[in-house]
Amino acid sequence: MRIAVVGATGLVGKKMMEVLEERNFPVSEFYPVASPKSVGLKVTFKGKEYEVIGMEDAISRKPDIAIFSAGGTTSKTWAPKFAEVGTVVIDNSSAWRMEPNIKLVVPEVNADILEKTDRIIANPNCSTIQMVVALKPLYDKYKIKRVVVSTYQSVTGTGKKAVDQLMNERNGIDGEKAYPYTIDLNLLPHIDVFLDNGYTKEEMKMVLETKKIMGDDRIRVTATTVRVPVIGGHSESVNVEFENEFDLAELRSLLEKSPGIIVVDDVANLRYPTPLMAHNKDEVFVGRLRRDETQPKTLNMWIVSDNLRKGAATNAVQIAEYMVEKGLIVSR
């Protein structure tokens, strides 16, 4: 496969190259792509040095797959141009996620909706991805009525500028700010912009994307998203109300047998998922499984995953792997 990574010099772009290499994705030609200011820089992939190229140059080479992590405006402009030359675009921005004719895919949940004619495929929001991976087996068995989620999201979700801010604050350096407030030793209940309804865009992404990925508009979702001074992964406290009654032991077993999930739930021995546990791993970690004692058919759970991997790069690569495996992408 001829593969382009668009946004190759960014945090997620670098992680995408790392994941492609680790998972031994079949790459015959590799094109790192970035904005004009980064063209000519060198990146290393599979032990070989490559020069970063621009958009037009990449399109002229007609890659089989282009994995985008370059922001919504860039994706809106350039993804269709790649698609026009027959490239399958897997886009990590929010640009295409809620477009009715664009598939929003988490392979463990809904890869079966992908078709050979799909040319632009959306990678969901990082916090949505890890939640729906854990919810899918439970939805299939018990049906879900309502989800209440509070997130504890790593600064890596904002990008390098935010990581630099945290580290500068920790080291007493006055540097560039990604956030309106200090993030070290602090929490910010503010991810993305605030909307007219008082929720942030990140919170509404979780609401709308969950319904689309699960293919069920009846699921009620409400979210509060919080930025925390953590590097390693996003954590979520999730309260799920089911339509049907559940047995907790059966539910735990169901999660343990589901793809992409590792259950860490042994409070007697103080074992539960943490961001450091999930760091640099591709699985979604689930623990603190317990009944909500205030109402029937309701579960509390704790979900942790590396937001740069499963929440972004790995999920995108898994989409590509699935399409290649099913013959939905054939090298030209």
Catalytic residues: 126, 234
Query: Rounded to an integer, what distance in angstroms lies between the CA atom of residue 69 and that of residue 81?
Result: 16
In the structure encoding, which two tokens stand for residue 270, read together?
């103080």
Nearest to 128 by CA among 157, 171, 101, 162: 157
Q: What phi and psi, each to the nearest 5 degrees, are found at residue 239?
A: -110, 120
Q: Could you give the 3-state DSSP secondary structure of residue 271?
A: strand
DSSP 73: H
Q: Which residues of 162-185 are buried (b: 16+ CB within 10 A; e: fewer)?
A: bbbbbeebeeeeeeeebbeeebee
Nearest to 39 by CA among 54, 59, 17, 55: 54
Beta strands in 108-168 (DSSP E): 120-122, 144-153
